[in-house]
Amino acid sequence: MPEGPEIQRARDELAEVLEQGKVSKIFFAFDSLKPYQSKLKNSRIIEVNAKGKAMLIRFSNGYTIYSHNQLSGKWFISPDGQTPDVKRQLRLSIHMKEGAAFLYSASDISVLKEHELASHSYLSKLGLELLSANTTQKMVVQRLMTYRKSRRSLMTLLQDQSVLAGIGNYLCCEILHVSALHPEIRICDINNQQLQQLAQNSLQLIRQSYETAGITNLLLRADKLAKQGIAFEDYRFNVYRREGLSCYQCGDVIVKGKFSGRMGYCCLGCQPV
For residue range 161-196, list pLDDT tens digits in order: 999 999 999 999 999 999 999 999 999 999 999 999
Residue 263 confidence (pLDDT): 97
> 98 falls in which pLDDT band (50, 70, 90)?
confident
Asked if 118 and 138 sit in the same domain, the reply is no
Asked if 14 and 75 sit in the same domain, the reply is yes
Residue 72 confidence (pLDDT): 85
> 80 falls in which pLDDT band (50, 70, 90)?
confident
Structural domain that includes position 98? 4-125
Residue 70 confidence (pLDDT): 84
pLDDT of 1 > 80? The answer is no
Domain boundary among 125, 141, 166: 125
Asked if 80 and 109 sit in the same domain, the reply is yes
Asked if 146 and 255 sit in the same domain, the reply is yes
In a domain, 272, yes or no: no
State pLDDT tens for residues 194-241: 999 999 999 999 999 999 999 999 999 999 999 999 999 999 999 999
Of 9, 51, 53, 236, the active-site residue reads 53
Residue 117 confidence (pLDDT): 94
* 53 part of the active site: yes
**What would the mean pLDDT of 110-139 be, rounded to a whole number?**
95
- DSSP assignment of the chain: ---HHHHHHHHHHHHHHHTTPBEEEEEESSGGGTTHHHHHTTPBEEEEEEETTEEEEEETTSEEEEEE-TTT-EEEEETT-PPP--SS-EEEEEEETTEEEEEES--EEEEEEGGGSTT-TTGGG--EETTSTT--HHHHHHHHHTTTT---BHHHHTT-TTTEET--HHHHHHHHHHTT--TT-BGGGS-HHHHHHHHHHHHHHHHHHHHHTS--S-HHHHHHHHHTT--HHHHS-SSTT-TTSBPTTT-PBEEEEEETTEEEEEETTTS--
Instruction: Count structural domains, the chain.
Output: 2
Residue 36 confidence (pLDDT): 97
* 262 part of the active site: yes
* 98 part of the active site: no
pLDDT of 38 > 80? The answer is yes
Residue 109 confidence (pLDDT): 97
For residue 202, what is the domain's CATH number?
Answer: 1.10.8.50
Domain boundary among 76, 110, 125: 125
Of 44, 74, 186, 262, the active-site residue reads 262
Residue 53 confidence (pLDDT): 87
Of the two residues 70 and 161, the one the predictor is more confident about is: 161
Residue 71 confidence (pLDDT): 79
* 3 part of the active site: yes
Domain boundary among 105, 125, 145: 125
**What would the mean pLDDT of 79-83 be, rounded to a whole number?**
88
Of 3, 6, 174, 184, the active-site residue reads 3
